[in-house]
Amino acid sequence: MSSLDDYMLPCLNKKIFGFDCMGCGFQRSLSLIIHGDFVSAFYMYPAVYTLIPLGLFIIASFFFKLKYSNKIINALAIVSVIIIIASFIIKKI
């Protein structure tokens, strides 16, 4: 029986250059969330908890007219980028 993990894309940056990119761990983190392991998902890729609402909010903004959608999307994007960069730097230390 195949699982979701069998269909994950490899990190080309890691294969070519030999080190993780800033997105490494996102797929595995989503898989951990689907399996209910929320703490491990956070340790794998902390920005997953801001990227999921960001993605859902962007999709919802296509279908519904929301009052402050641009501000919310911008705020979630900025927080996500800060978390991604900070966690990347912390992993390298």
The full DSSP string for 18-65 is: SS--TTTTHHHHHHHHHTT-HHHHHHH-TTHHHHHHHHHHHHHHHHS-
Q: Say if residues 61 and 69 touch (Cβ distance below 8 Å).
A: yes
pTM for the whole structure? 0.85
Domain map (residue ranges) of the chain = 14-92
Residues with Cβ < 8 Å from 28, sequence gap 6 or more? 5, 8, 44, 45
Please report the pLDDT score of residue 46 as a whole number: 95
pLDDT digits (tens, 9 = 90+) for 39-76: 999 999 999 999 999 999 999 999 998 888 899 999 99
